[in-house]
């Protein structure tokens, strides 16, 4: 699958192709890709529908995410958000230094905040930067 994704421009041999696909699908408003694992056949099916989500589904997701985004933040998540200014780009290393954690754990926390739509990320792999989007 990695070779196929690389051939169509979504992979770069660094494992970052799958998140790129998810970002594109989300930005286009298409139905989220689905991974289906079949352990009996030892295979994985990747379903990628290029269909727009209905307005009702989008409104429901938006309402759910806004309610849940703030309620399930850990102390570390809150620490990251308080150390960032809105609209300023930060690298993983800069945030890690401010909160006193190592890079991999900080990157995981930052990605969780991106998934909660509290941060936006710009760039890929080594040049990735995070921007605080809400206060």
Give the pLDDT score at 86: 85
Give the pLDDT score at 96: 92
Choice among 26-30, 51-55, 87-91 with the minimum mean pLDDT: 51-55
Is there a single domain that holds both residue 80 and residue 122?
yes
Domain that holds residue 2: 1-56
Within a 10 A sphere around the Cβ of 46, how many other Cβ atoms? 13
Is there a single domain that holds both residue 52 and residue 78?
no
DSSP state, residue 32: P
Would 2 be classed as within a structural domain? Answer: yes
Could you tell me the CATH number of the domain that includes residue 110? 1.10.10.10
More confident position, 1 or 115: 115
Q: CA-to-CA distance for 91 and 62, rounded, in angstroms? A: 27
Question: Domain total for the chain?
Answer: 2
The secondary element (H helix, E strand) that includes residue 27 is helix 17-28
Give the pLDDT score at 71: 64
Would 8 be classed as within a structural domain? Answer: yes
Give the pLDDT score at 16: 57
Q: CA-to-CA distance for 51 and 38, rounded, in angstroms? A: 25
Choice among 50-54, 63-67, 69-73, 107-111 with the minimum mean pLDDT: 63-67
Is there a single domain that holds both residue 83 and residue 130?
yes
């Amino acid at each position: 699958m990695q070779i196929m994704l690389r051939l169509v421009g979504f992979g770069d041999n660094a494992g970052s192709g799958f998140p790129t696909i998810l970002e594109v699908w989300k930005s286009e408003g298409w139905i989220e890709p689905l991974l289906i694992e079949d352990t009996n056949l030892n295979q994985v099916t990747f379903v990628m529908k290029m269909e727009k989500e209905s307005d009702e589904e989008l409104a429901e997701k938006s309402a759910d995410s806004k309610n849940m985004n703030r309620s399930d933040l850990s102390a570390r998540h809150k620490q990251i958000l308080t150390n960032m200014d809105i609209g300023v780009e930060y690298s993983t290393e800069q945030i890690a230094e401010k909160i006193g954690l190592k890079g991999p754990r900080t990157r995981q926390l930052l990605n969780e905040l991106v998934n909660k739509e509290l941060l936006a990320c710009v760039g890929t792999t080594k040049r990735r930067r995070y921007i605080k989007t809400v206060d």
